A = this chain, B = another copy of it.
């Protein structure tokens, strides 16, 4: 007699087991992985955090590695969803490119506290990328950053069609925008570093948007950006290298 293929059972991720337990595990694992990193995080600790027996973890996800992969993908998907919502809120009814992009840039660069664990996890991934199977990395990129970037590209493209931006390759423009506006902030949001003061975030975001407009708008943008930037602000010193 053959395997019978019990209809909605486990084996493939996303099936089998009680969904509430599954959620608890994913949330708990995210917290622990983000705090301790893959190797240091013990399955027992995750089980404790999720208020679940370790056996349940092994039943729903076959082993620690696949659990890790599922956690990444799940968390990335959620963050991507939130970011896409943000994109659509700010970039669908643009009238003044400069003002609206500046406003959006500030929101975009401001870290969302409910996703702090996620970004800690991303740091973990980037640190030990050499030990994460390529397939997991791809799945993560696909269901997270790539989707966001595509949507950003789409919306920037629209602005291009309306003559508000001058861009030949929306995809590339999207990458540039994301890097220019968020990079400085994330670069300084590392370890337990005290959260950047709002003014500093705005300042960095503004200069990023300005740089972006430099390349993708008429020179008019450069002029007006000059006024926006220069308010003196207190700053929390922190390092990079």
Which of A's residues lie within 8 Å of B, judged by CB?
35-37, 39-40, 79, 83, 119-120, 122-131, 137, 141, 144-146, 148-149, 168-169, 171-172, 175, 178-180, 182-184, 186-188, 190-192, 204, 207-208, 210-211, 214-215, 219, 222, 226, 229-230, 232, 235, 237-241
**A124 near B127 (CB under 8 angstroms)?**
yes
Q: Which residue of B128, B186, B237 contacts A37 across the interface (Cβ within 8 Å)?
A: B128
Q: Which residues of B contact A120 (CB under 8 A)?
A: 127
A211 to B212 Cα, complex, angstroms: 11
A172 proximity list for chain B (CB < 8 A)? 235, 237
Tell me whether A129 and B175 are in contact (CB under 8 A). no
A177 shortest CB reach to chain B, Å: 11
Quick check: A192 and B226 within 8 Å, CB to CB? no
Known interface pairs A40-B131, A235-B175, A240-B145; A184-B184 also in contact (CB < 8 Å): yes
A172 CB, nearest partner CB in chain B, Å: 5
Question: A35 near B130 (CB under 8 angstroms)?
Answer: yes
